[in-house]
Amino acid sequence: MSQNFSFKKVPRRSLKSYVYESIKQAIIRGDLAPGEHLREADIAAQMGVNRAPIREAFRQLHQEGMTYSHPYRGTVVLEISPHETEEVFVPTRRIIEGFAAKNAITVMTEEHFSDLEEIIEQMRNAGQEENLDQLTDLDIQFHDYLISHASGPTVLALWKNINARIHSRLLYQGIRHSSLEEVAEDHSEYLKRIRTGDPAAIDSYLASHIY
């Protein structure tokens, strides 16, 4: 495991979920790189817990396709090639996002749209402060909120699975904005198109902003 990254001690709350979320976020953010070997004993020692919740987290991450079990190397962070991302995951993400965005105008309320605008405002603040960690969390929050309120649980589960696998590449490893402040403005433009309910405008945005 990377010598430049270590897990924090676990706070006194929801041990299993905290361990799982901590490892998952480390993978999403690229702190644990694709192909990296995850050692139960090392992570348990860093977090100050026994190995049972670590083992359970590994099992859940394996089910979600974020890790795999290698016969001789144990648990390894899943490697996804650029070709797989471009040919499979990005097109699937566009389909899911397009479905939710086009459905949003008929199922989401003004309160829902206000919540999305608030997330965008928080993005502006994070961009101005050049806080990439927070900006990435807010980006995930924006799309999770949209898809959870404009589609069903099955679509949301598929979205979370795909997004978790490719998000580090899209934001941490390959963000395509000259300024972090542009991220909020891009999302503001996207929300305007969603509120018009114009399928062509939504498709145009997704084709140029999900890559």
Q: 3-state class of 66 per DSSP?
A: coil
Please check the confidence at residue 19 and state whether its pLDDT lies above 50: yes
Kindly state the tokens that stand for 194: 């969603």
Domains of the chain, CATH where assigned: 15-77 (1.10.10.10), 82-209 (1.20.120.530)
174: confidence class by pLDDT, cuts 50, 70, 90: very low
Query: What's the CA gap between 10 and 23, in Å, rounded?
Result: 12
Identify the residue whose tokens are 């997004």: 163
pLDDT at 86: 82
Which residue in 96, 94, 99, 37 sits closest to 70, CA to CA?
37
The reported pTM is: 0.74
Please check the confidence at residue 25 and state whether its pLDDT lies above 90: no
pLDDT digits (tens, 9 = 90+) for 108-160: 999 999 999 999 999 999 999 988 878 888 988 999 999 999 999 999 888 88
